[in-house]
Structure 1
Amino acid sequence: MRSLLLAASLCLLTVPSAQAHPHLFVDVSHTLLFDDQGRLIGLRARWSYDEMFSLLMVEDGEYDSDGDGRVTGAELARFQLWDADWPADYGGDVEITLDGRAVPLQGPDDWAAEWQEGRAVSIHTRRLAIPLDITGAELEIRPYDPDFYVDYSIVDAPAYSGRDDCAGDIYEPDPDAVPQELADAIAELGAETTPGEAGLPAVGRLYAELERIRCGN
């Protein structure tokens, strides 16, 4: 799938540089997973890709074998792992912190995929390296691509599996958090150049939405 991100970027090389970021758009929702002791053990992520990228992906993988513009029935069996070939250095475009401290995550598992109204949907689980009691603490989940080629939008409040005393809110990024000099440098990048290649920081984080969650008291 990550090779398809590059292909999609190449298709957009004619976009004016001031509009070069982002190229891809993904709607995100999360389910927090808890064990029988109420400890956080994982994060179930649901990524719904935009229609343009979904079309490129289906054509590249030849998933729509009957050419009806949908991935259904037997076609879904081959489709289930379309997003599963993550490179070793790919972090999964999500950051979780507990009271400001990073929470280590294991690699993805429990893959699934759906096709909904012309959009490819990829689903996976990121398990915590160590179960955590988050009662009374502040958990933040921030999905983002460091290079900002992918724009993740949180479309639903977080769901919870294993606890019923959690609540969360979605926060928009603060536009004033991006210095004007940095914003200008991002706008001037050519479509073929990543912020990292240009020596810029992980700018995607500055534009990221986040979920802030508390459980218990």
Structure 2
Amino acid sequence: MRYRILTIATLAAAGLPLPALAHPHIFAEARLEVVAGNDGNLAELRNVWRFDEVFSSSVLLDFDKNTDLKLDEKELAELGEVMRTSLADFHYFTTITLNGAVVGVQKPDAIHVSIDDSNQLLVIFAVKPEKPVPLKGKLTFGIYDPSMYTAIDFPTDGDLVAQGAGFSKCQHKVVRPDPDEVIAQNSSTLTDAFFNDPTGTDMTKLFATRLEVTC
């Protein structure tokens, strides 16, 4: 199948078998900028993802139509559009909560894709919440793959930031859950089915790095 290894989401969306997803197969380093609007609401989440060399090489093989061993602007645009469509089913790996309630995200206008100097796939896009999110109470923001097929890592706490005057009076911190503590605290609900379910579950977010903001 043509898009057999396009993205984590594309693998699943394309109907490919994904057995034994207890550990990731694709790795990406990320940066997340949470931007406040001038109206006192959340404006958007800006994402930058840099994928590992193996996955990046695989994407090159899949989308290099003219076999010149590089991706031109048209091929990169096609890749971005396929990702924009496929990742919709996974909410673009984005989780927003307001006082514990999950808020969905809109489809981005575009996903921009390039290959950096180290031949790694660089993906840049922004998503907006599907409804107004006032900057009041407790908000959390996270980027993770619920199927566990991709490991999305934030190398430093400085890679998750809150920007804009609307956050000036808010407290924020980066939370990096300890897997052993998560398992110990949720031993009654984290069953074998959780670790072997290829569709993922909402429990995956317990392990995900997140930005917590209290306003």
Report whether the alignment pairs 1:78 with 2:75.
yes
Report whether the alignment pairs 1:158 with 2:161.
yes
> Please, which runs of 5 or more residues in structure 2 have no aligned partner?
none
Q: Matched residues in 1 for 2:119 and 2:162: separation?
A: 25
Higher helix share: 2
> Which residue of the partner structure matches residue 92 of structure 2?
92
> Which residue of the partner structure matches residue 133 of structure 1?
134
| 8 Å Cα contact 2:36-2:162 kept in structure 1 | no
| 8 Å Cα contact 1:54-1:119 kept in structure 2 | yes
Q: Matched residues in 2 for 1:36 and 1:81: separation?
A: 34
Two-structure CA RMSD over aligned residues (Å) = 3.4
Structure-2 change in CA distance of 1:89 and 1:37 (3 Å): closer
Q: Deviation at 1:57? A: 0.7
> Which residue of the partner structure matches residue 168 of structure 1?
172
1:167-209: CA deviations, max 9, x gaps? 63321123222256877837984xxx6265xxxx445323211
Q: Deviation at 1:163? A: 4.7
Q: Matched residues in 1 for 2:194 and 2:86: separation?
A: 28
| 8 Å Cα contact 1:25-1:150 kept in structure 2 | yes
Within a 5 Å distance, the mapping from 1:62-77 to structure 2 comes to 62=64, 66-67=68-69, 71=71, 75-77=72-74
Q: Matched residues in 2 for 1:58 and 1:29: separation?
A: 23
SS of aligned partner of 1:128: coil
Q: Deviation at 1:139? A: 1.6
| 8 Å Cα contact 2:26-2:149 kept in structure 1 | yes
Higher strand share: 1
Q: Deviation at 1:23? A: 1.0
Identify the range of structure 1 (142-151 vs 155-164) with the bigger mean alpha-carbon deviation: 155-164
Q: How many residues align?
A: 196
**What percent identity do the matched residue pairs reach?**
25
